[in-house]
Protein backbone atom coordinates (compact mmCIF):
# COMPACT_ATOMS: atom_id res chain seq x y z
CA UNK A 1 0.00 0.00 0.00
CA UNK A 2 1.39 3.36 -1.01
CA UNK A 3 1.10 6.29 1.37
CA UNK A 4 1.56 9.92 0.42
CA UNK A 5 3.16 12.41 2.80
CA UNK A 6 2.39 16.13 2.68
CA UNK A 7 4.10 19.15 4.24
CA UNK A 8 1.54 21.97 4.07
CA UNK A 9 2.90 25.51 4.08
CA UNK A 10 1.52 28.96 3.49
CA UNK A 11 2.49 28.96 -0.21
CA UNK A 12 3.80 25.45 -0.85
CA UNK A 13 2.99 21.80 -0.25
CA UNK A 14 5.85 19.34 -0.20
CA UNK A 15 4.90 15.89 -1.46
CA UNK A 16 6.51 12.51 -0.79
CA UNK A 17 5.35 8.97 -1.49
CA UNK A 18 6.22 5.60 -0.02
CA UNK A 19 7.49 2.66 -1.99
CA UNK A 20 4.82 -0.04 -2.61
CA UNK A 21 5.92 -1.98 0.50
CA UNK A 22 5.65 1.08 2.76
CA UNK A 23 9.29 0.96 3.85
CA UNK A 24 10.87 4.10 2.41
CA UNK A 25 9.73 7.60 1.51
CA UNK A 26 10.83 9.42 -1.64
CA UNK A 27 10.35 13.08 -2.49
CA UNK A 28 8.01 13.78 -5.39
CA UNK A 29 7.65 17.54 -5.80
CA UNK A 30 6.85 20.87 -4.21
CA UNK A 31 3.51 22.33 -5.26
CA UNK A 32 3.64 26.14 -5.27
CA UNK A 33 0.86 28.72 -5.22
CA UNK A 34 0.92 32.51 -5.30
CA UNK A 35 -1.58 33.13 -2.50
CA UNK A 36 -2.10 31.26 0.74
CA UNK A 37 -5.86 30.72 0.36
CA UNK A 38 -5.81 29.77 -3.33
CA UNK A 39 -5.96 26.00 -2.89
CA UNK A 40 -8.00 24.79 -5.88
CA UNK A 41 -4.99 24.02 -8.11
CA UNK A 42 -3.02 22.64 -5.17
CA UNK A 43 -5.81 20.20 -4.32
CA UNK A 44 -6.23 19.25 -7.98
CA UNK A 45 -2.49 18.48 -8.25
CA UNK A 46 -2.59 16.36 -5.08
CA UNK A 47 -5.56 14.44 -6.52
CA UNK A 48 -3.53 13.81 -9.71
CA UNK A 49 -0.56 12.55 -7.68
CA UNK A 50 -2.80 10.29 -5.57
CA UNK A 51 -4.05 8.70 -8.79
CA UNK A 52 -0.61 8.53 -10.41
CA UNK A 53 1.01 6.79 -7.44
CA UNK A 54 -2.03 4.83 -6.29
CA UNK A 55 -1.85 6.28 -2.79
CA UNK A 56 -4.33 4.77 -0.35
CA UNK A 57 -3.68 7.06 2.61
CA UNK A 58 -2.38 10.58 3.22
CA UNK A 59 -0.10 11.66 6.06
CA UNK A 60 -0.10 15.40 6.69
CA UNK A 61 2.46 17.10 8.91
CA UNK A 62 0.90 18.90 11.88
CA UNK A 63 3.01 21.92 12.89
CA UNK A 64 2.71 21.90 16.67
CA UNK A 65 4.56 24.35 18.89
CA UNK A 66 7.56 22.90 20.70
CA UNK A 67 5.45 22.60 23.88
CA UNK A 68 2.85 20.55 21.98
CA UNK A 69 0.25 23.31 21.69
CA UNK A 70 -1.77 23.82 18.51
CA UNK A 71 -1.42 27.29 17.00
CA UNK A 72 -2.95 29.13 14.06
CA UNK A 73 -0.77 27.36 11.49
CA UNK A 74 -1.82 23.96 12.86
CA UNK A 75 -5.48 24.98 12.76
CA UNK A 76 -5.09 25.94 9.09
CA UNK A 77 -3.41 22.59 8.47
CA UNK A 78 -6.30 20.72 10.08
CA UNK A 79 -8.75 22.58 7.80
CA UNK A 80 -6.59 21.64 4.81
CA UNK A 81 -6.64 18.00 5.98
CA UNK A 82 -10.43 18.02 6.02
CA UNK A 83 -10.55 19.58 2.55
CA UNK A 84 -8.04 17.21 0.95
CA UNK A 85 -9.69 14.22 2.62
CA UNK A 86 -13.03 15.17 1.06
CA UNK A 87 -11.44 15.83 -2.34
CA UNK A 88 -9.51 12.55 -2.50
CA UNK A 89 -11.81 10.31 -0.48
CA UNK A 90 -8.77 9.12 1.50
CA UNK A 91 -8.13 9.02 5.22
CA UNK A 92 -5.75 11.79 6.32
CA UNK A 93 -3.50 11.00 9.26
CA UNK A 94 -2.11 14.04 11.09
CA UNK A 95 1.55 13.55 12.04
CA UNK A 96 3.73 15.66 14.32
CA UNK A 97 6.16 17.52 12.09
CA UNK A 98 8.16 19.45 14.68
CA UNK A 99 11.68 20.18 13.44
CA UNK A 100 11.26 18.50 10.03
CA UNK A 101 11.95 21.78 8.18
CA UNK A 102 14.99 22.37 10.40
CA UNK A 103 16.26 18.87 9.59
CA UNK A 104 15.59 19.40 5.89
CA UNK A 105 17.50 22.68 5.91
CA UNK A 106 20.41 21.02 7.69
CA UNK A 107 20.57 18.29 5.02
CA UNK A 108 20.57 20.91 2.27
CA UNK A 109 23.34 22.89 3.97
CA UNK A 110 25.42 19.74 4.47
CA UNK A 111 25.04 19.00 0.77
CA UNK A 112 26.15 22.54 -0.10
CA UNK A 113 22.87 23.59 -1.74
CA UNK A 114 22.96 27.34 -2.26
CA UNK A 115 20.73 29.37 0.06
CA UNK A 116 18.60 30.73 -2.81
CA UNK A 117 18.04 27.19 -4.14
CA UNK A 118 16.99 25.66 -0.80
CA UNK A 119 13.42 26.97 -1.09
CA UNK A 120 12.92 24.69 -4.09
CA UNK A 121 13.67 21.56 -2.06
CA UNK A 122 12.99 22.17 1.63
CA UNK A 123 9.25 21.36 1.65
CA UNK A 124 9.69 18.21 -0.43
CA UNK A 125 12.44 17.00 1.91
CA UNK A 126 10.33 17.88 4.96
CA UNK A 127 7.51 15.77 3.45
CA UNK A 128 9.98 12.88 3.14
CA UNK A 129 10.92 13.25 6.83
CA UNK A 130 7.23 13.35 7.86
CA UNK A 131 6.36 10.29 5.82
CA UNK A 132 9.46 8.32 6.80
CA UNK A 133 8.78 8.98 10.48
CA UNK A 134 5.23 7.73 9.99
CA UNK A 135 6.38 4.61 8.10
CA UNK A 136 8.95 3.85 10.80
CA UNK A 137 6.25 4.11 13.47
CA UNK A 138 4.12 1.57 11.59
CA UNK A 139 7.00 -0.90 11.53
CA UNK A 140 7.70 -0.30 15.23
CA UNK A 141 4.05 -0.97 16.11
CA UNK A 142 4.24 -4.35 14.34
CA UNK A 143 7.52 -5.36 16.04
**What number does CATH give the domain 2-142?**
3.30.420.140
Per-residue pLDDT tens digits for 113-132: 677 776 777 788 889 999 99
Handedness of CA 22, 26, 59, 49 (dihedral sign): negative
Task: List the chain domain ranges.
Answer: 2-142
Does the pTM exceed 0.85? yes
Per-residue pLDDT tens digits for 38-71: 899 999 999 999 999 999 999 999 987 677 677 7
Cβ burial 103-121 (10 Å sphere, 16+ → b, else e): ebbebbeeeebeeeeeeeb
Amino acid sequence: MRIMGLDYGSKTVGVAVSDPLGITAQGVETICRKEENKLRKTCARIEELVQEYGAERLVLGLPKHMNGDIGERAEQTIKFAEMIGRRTGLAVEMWDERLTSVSAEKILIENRVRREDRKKYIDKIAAVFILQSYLDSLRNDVS
